[in-house]
Amino acid sequence: MSKVFSLPEEILRMTFGFVDTLSQLKECRLVCRAWCNPAEVRMLRQEINIMSENAIFRLYDVLVRNPGKGYLIKHLNFDKCGSFSPVLRELLYLALTPNIETLSGHVNSIEFYTVVNEIVTRSPLKFDRVKTMTSFQYVTIPYFEVLLHFKNNLETMVFNVDDDDHKTSFECAKRLVEFKKLTMFSMEGCFSQLWDIDKVLKYCPNLQNLTIKFHQDDDSLVDQENVKLWTESTVDKQYNLKTLTVNGHCPADYLEYLFYKYPNIEKIVIDAEVDDEYLDVHFARVKALIEKLHWKQIMFTVPPHVDFRDLIRNLMNSNYSVIIDNINDNDDIRIKLKGI
């Protein structure tokens, strides 16, 4: 037998540590019996992407033959994970151990979170290493109960407000203050009133990076004087936030609130849908807020019904440089703004 096939397993594990991709490690497993276990150990220690039912079966097959290897798994990413199958349920019982550190991606199944809750609750050991948890379409009691299990270490959270049930989201938000290490926060929803957004953010005092996606596109706009009166009398400032991202819509009054609440913003990304009315009503106020920032990225999506030439002419007449970034399949035109 060739000497390479008779190396001690410790040496093989060190060698496979230099193999970066899962596909290569999977091939190494198949070379011979001596390579199978060390390559498999290395493979399970990397981030594992669950992208299909086949991926669920493959990982389940590995772990059901040797359940102890579930403790090697630290990073699971669920991408395009569809319905909650019986095999996924069994896989979670094998793969989720107190060694898990990140559960990332998006899982739109309430059964998934019910099972995770069962696993963590029944475990004799604490799950005290989890820094990231998968997102759900909106905050529910079962989903938030899972988040609470990881409140001492969770650093990243997606908190989507149910457009039809603000009450549940706002009640859960009151406990966000318990997440002491929460620094990266993503939130989206339809906030019917300006002050509703602070019903969530006031309980997150340690944020450094905030992403918000506004659903609404109504015509209501609080004037600057009333925004100023409300923020100065009610809103508590928080000084840790450095990066702000606004997606979907970018109402001027909401942005004024955010800049008051987070006076130390250094970077901003705006990726919003616009029309002529937005430029006439909102944009001057938005520009006044962001023009002093050293780092800013402004992306606008122009829908087909908007007169694109007229919009571009208005922007260029205001001394903005416009770069066409992309044309989407639905004929939306993506533009990047320079010169703000």
Instruction: Describe the crossing of helices 141-149 and 166-173 by its angle, rounded to 10 degrees.
Output: 20
For 22-48, write each residue's pLDDT tens digit.
555 555 555 566 566 666 666 777 788
Residue where a domain stops, chosen among 113, 146, 179: 146
Q: What is the pLDDT of residue 63?
A: 87
Q: What is the pLDDT of residues 162-206, one digit of tens each?
A: 888 889 999 999 999 999 999 999 999 988 888 999 999 999 999
What confidence category does residue 233 fall into, taking pLDDT thresholds of 50, 70 and 90? very high
> Is there a single domain that holds both residue 167 and residue 238?
yes
Whether residues 101 and 215 fall in one domain: no
Please answer whether residues 274 and 300 qualify as being in contact, where contact means their C-beta atoms are separated by less than 8 angstroms: yes
Residues 51 and 16 in one domain: no
User: What's the domain count of the chain?
Assistant: 3
188 and 210 share a domain?
A: yes
315 pLDDT band, cuts 50/70/90, is: confident
Q: Same structural domain for residues 176 and 271?
A: yes
**72 and 31 housed in the same domain:** no
**Residues 236 and 332 placed together within one structural domain of the fold:** yes
Q: What is the mean pLDDT of the chain?
A: 86
Which range marks the domain in which residue 121 is found?
47-146
Average pLDDT over residues 133-157: 95
Q: Rounded to whole angstroms, how far apart are CA atoms 32 and 58?
A: 19
Using CA atoms, how far apart are residues 99 and 127, in angstroms rounded to an integer? 7
Last residue of a domain, one of 123, 146, 169: 146
pLDDT above 70 covers what percent of the chain? Answer: 85
Residue 295 backbone phi and psi in degrees, to 5: -125, 120
d(CA 335, CA 316): 13
Q: State yes or no: pLDDT of 156 exceeds 90.
A: yes
pLDDT: is 217 or 170 the higher one? 170
Weakest mean pLDDT among 11-25, 98-112, 269-283: 11-25
Q: Extract the tokens encoding 281.
A: 């009503």
The domain boundary residue, chosen from 98, 129, 146: 146
The CA angle 117-163-335, to the nearest 5 degrees, is 110
Average pLDDT over residues 89-100: 95
Res 267: pLDDT: 96
Lowest mean pLDDT among 84-88, 163-167, 181-185, 216-220: 216-220
The pLDDT of residue 18: 47
Tell me, yes or no, whether 95 and 225 share the same domain. no
CA angle 259, 263, 265 (to 5 degrees): 80
Coil, helix or strand at residue 144:
helix
Q: 232: burial class by Cβ within 10 Å (0-12, 13-18, 19+)?
A: exposed
Same domain, 175 and 132: no
Quick count: other Cβ atoms within 10 Å of Cβ 180?
A: 12
Three-class HEC string of 222-250? CCHHHHHHHHHHHCCCCCCCCEEEEEECC
298 and 229 within one domain: yes
The pLDDT of residue 8 is above 80: no
Query: Cα(154)–Cα(101) distance, rounded to whole angstroms?
Result: 9
User: pLDDT tier at 285 (50, 70, 90 boundaries)?
Assistant: very high
Is 70 exceeded by the pLDDT of residue 136? yes
Asked if pLDDT for residue 325 goes beyond 90, the answer is no
Whether 89 and 238 map to the same domain: the answer is no
On whether both 41 and 54 belong to a single domain, the answer is no
Residues recorded for the chain: 340
Query: What pLDDT score does 1 carry?
Result: 47
